[in-house]
Amino acid sequence: MTQTQRQKQPTSGLRIIFAGTPEFAAEHLKTLLGSYHQVIAVYTQPDRPAGRGKKLSASPVKEMALAHNIPVYQPLNFKMEAAQVELAALNADLMVVVAYGLILPKIVLDTPRLGCINVHASLLPRWRGAAPIQRAIEAGDSETGITIMQMDVGLDTGGMLIRAICPISPTDTGGSLHDRLLIIGTSALLEALTQIQARTTQPEKQNDSESNYAPKLSKEEAALNWNLSATELERKVRAFNPFPVAYTKLQGARDDARIRVWAVKAVEKSALAARGSITQITPEGFWVACAKGQLILEVLQLPGKKALHVGELLRGHPDLYRVGDLLDLPPC
């Protein structure tokens, strides 16, 4: 930071409550902790069972807050008066919300002196909801971004303070796009805080007619449906990497025989074969007939094994699959 920048920087920052849960949120908290603003408290989801042992596990946000001796609050919701009173007693200037996972009622939104802002991983109003990063890839969008929004009682409907664009490449996965948006988001957040403190924000109203809902990801929808086109399936595989990970299995096989699909390629050439049937087996991958085109399954993970490219997989299991084998069609 230059001497001129230090002179322009306010002598004291905002008193901020941070609300968030996953790693995406934790990195934004880390940025705030490294700024001149004061994080006075952190709100995050209650500890949840995780892993094979189903032991209670703290969220990444909680772990970071405790490492920096920041008080942590984990209410189930804000319907109880006690939680509302507890929040008000913190006397915050602003609440910063990043992938918190709880709906904030109006009484909470109005509690901080300057209200609540949200870091949303979409160019609002394009994708509102829980999974905007993955839904943008799945839909074939060419770009997405970060929106810093003044929160209101609607679902991601508040006035937009900052919009930062991020292109989506043809090879982006949910993971790679997440990481790029993280860098953009932390920078945009600091810019928004500067504007808020200087009282120079100019919220832009969203056009509701341009909005789409981005529902939470589920493991059930990760099943590859061969009634879709190869292009649609290729986008889904990328969108669901690294979670919940697309999968398939041989027709009639048990659920514990699921094959996780990490990387694929879509080809336009269709095959005169039943949808879901393996039409070719090459070192490049398994070719599978779709409603339109074919999907080449390139990197697979067998149950209990690590992910491998098909070429390597065939060296260890040369008779694993045969041309003509049918992969499962999920129920409609």
Q: What is the pTM of this model?
A: 0.93
Instruction: Report helix, strand or coil for 84.
Output: helix
In the structure encoding, which two tokens stand for residue 332, read together?
């409609």
**163, amino acid identity:** R
The whole-number pLDDT of residue 52 equals 74
CA neighbor of 78 nearest in space, from 106, 57, 50? 106
Note the CATH number of domain 220-316.
Answer: 3.10.25.10
The pLDDT of residue 332 is 62
Q: Considering the domain 3-214, what is its CATH architecture?
A: 3-Layer(aba) Sandwich (3.40)
Quote the pLDDT of residue 1.
41
Please name which of 105, 70, 117 lies closest in space to residue 90, comparing C-alpha atoms: 70
Residue type, 234: E
Nearest-angstrom CA–CA distance, 237 and 260: 10
pLDDT tens, N- to C-terminus, the chain (332 residues): 444 444 455 558 999 999 999 999 999 999 999 999 999 999 999 999 887 777 899 999 999 999 999 999 999 999 999 999 999 999 999 999 999 999 999 999 999 999 999 999 999 999 999 999 999 999 999 999 999 999 999 999 999 999 999 999 999 999 999 999 999 999 999 999 999 999 999 999 999 999 999 999 999 999 999 999 999 999 999 999 999 999 999 998 998 899 999 999 999 999 999 999 999 999 999 999 999 999 999 999 999 999 999 999 998 888 889 999 999 998 76
Q: CA-CA distance, 293 to 329, in Å (whole number)? A: 16
**Nearest residue to 189 (alpha-carbon basis) of 331, 9, 29:** 29
pLDDT recorded at residue 320? 85
Where do the domains of the chain lie? 3-214, 220-316
Radius of gyration of the chain from Cα atoms?
23
